[in-house]
Amino acid sequence: MTGQSISRGSGTNRPMATATQGSTLVDVLERVLDKGIVIAGDISVSVGSTELLTIRIRLLVASVDKAREMGINWWENDPYLSARSQELLTANEQLQARIESLEQELKLLRAQDESSAADT
């Protein structure tokens, strides 16, 4: 009805305002991302009274800023999505290798101390 004139009893023709008047897809998307929207649903597959499969679907559509406000920021620490996280994983692997090397050296030193103590 947007843009159509409706005749009123007084004889004046004015466009009737609707909830979607002036709303473009961009406006709607901006509102959804600003406020956030949650879509939830359950799918269940049963044969007779025996449930075979249940799938729970939870979908949140929001802007990054809105998600952070809600405490959702998993993408910041996901190693596959963040270059910084990949650097941390590489550094962690290098540190693990150093720890293993130092532990082996420590075992060798302890074994040498035990053998020299046994000789005396």
* CB-facing half-sphere around the CA of 44: CA atoms within 13 A: 7
Residue 5: inside a domain:
no
108 pLDDT exceeds 90? Answer: yes
State the pTM of this model. Answer: 0.38
SS3 state at 58: strand
Q: How many domains would you assign to the chain?
A: 2
Runs of H (alpha helix) within the chain:
25-35, 64-69, 83-119
Q: Provide the domain limits for residue 48.
A: 22-72
d(CA 90, CA 17): 59
Query: Does residue 7 carry a pLDDT above 50?
Result: no
Q: What are residue 69's phi and psi, to 5 degrees?
A: -60, -35
| CA–CA gap between residue 19 and residue 61 (Å, rounded) | 22
Q: Are residues 102 and 66 in the same domain?
A: no
3-state secondary structure of 87: helix
One domain for residues 96 and 67: no
Which residue, 112, 109, 113, 116, is CA-closest to 101?
109
Q: Which pLDDT band holds residue 110 (cuts at 50, 70, 90)?
A: very high
**Are 36 and 60 in contact, with CB atoms under 8 Å apart?**
yes
Q: Is residue 13 part of a domain?
A: no
Do 42 and 63 share a domain, yes or no?
yes
pLDDT 10s digits, 60-104: 888 888 888 888 888 777 767 767 777 888 899 999 999 999 999
